[in-house]
Amino acid sequence: MSAANQTTLTASQLARQHWLGVLAKAPAEQLQQQWAALDLTPDYQLIRPPEIGLTMVRARVGGSGQPFNMAEMTITRCAIRLTSGTLGVSYVAGRDKCKALTVALADALLQEDTDQQLQQQLVAPLEASLQAAAEARAADASQTKVDFFTLVRGEDE
């Protein structure tokens, strides 16, 4: 968001952004296992069936320069409505229609989860797994770290 159109987000909007990010980044197999363990079968209507498409990935030179179109990537999106009327959406990287549907269902149910049970049983374990994987990657990368040093010449000025 640019500074000109930046808006203040509510706590519920920030929470939703967080769980959608965790669910979208979670490995599909692990997400499906966690979902199956919950044994949830909500009644829903497909608003937008899972569909595969492309999106443009934008980048900036040096992280702060002018933006440019770097590449395209495939995404799968889905939107559902529970019988209660709550709308769930998902955008996930790749071509996994099942994952997109599961994330949309979880999004809708998490919006209705007043006692935080689904948050604790689905999102928290996936988030812990993502964090552990990130720490493992960081540990692997740190093994290749090279410390450079410079010798100072003893020249008199």
pLDDT in tens, 75-96: 999 999 999 999 999 999 999 9
Residues in CB range of 85: below 8 A, 6 or more apart: none
Does the pLDDT value for residue 5 go beyond 80? no
Does the pLDDT value for residue 100 go beyond 70? yes
Q: Are 94 and 76 in contact (CB under 8 A)?
A: yes
pLDDT in tens, 36-69: 999 999 999 999 999 999 999 999 988 788 999 9
Whether this prediction's pTM lies above 0.95 is answered by: no
Q: Kindly tell me the sign of the dihedral angle through the C-alpha atoms of 114, 98, 52, 130.
A: positive
Nearest one of 73, 34, 39 to 56, comparing CA atoms: 73
Residues in CB range of 82: below 8 A, 6 or more apart: 42, 43, 44, 88, 108, 109, 112
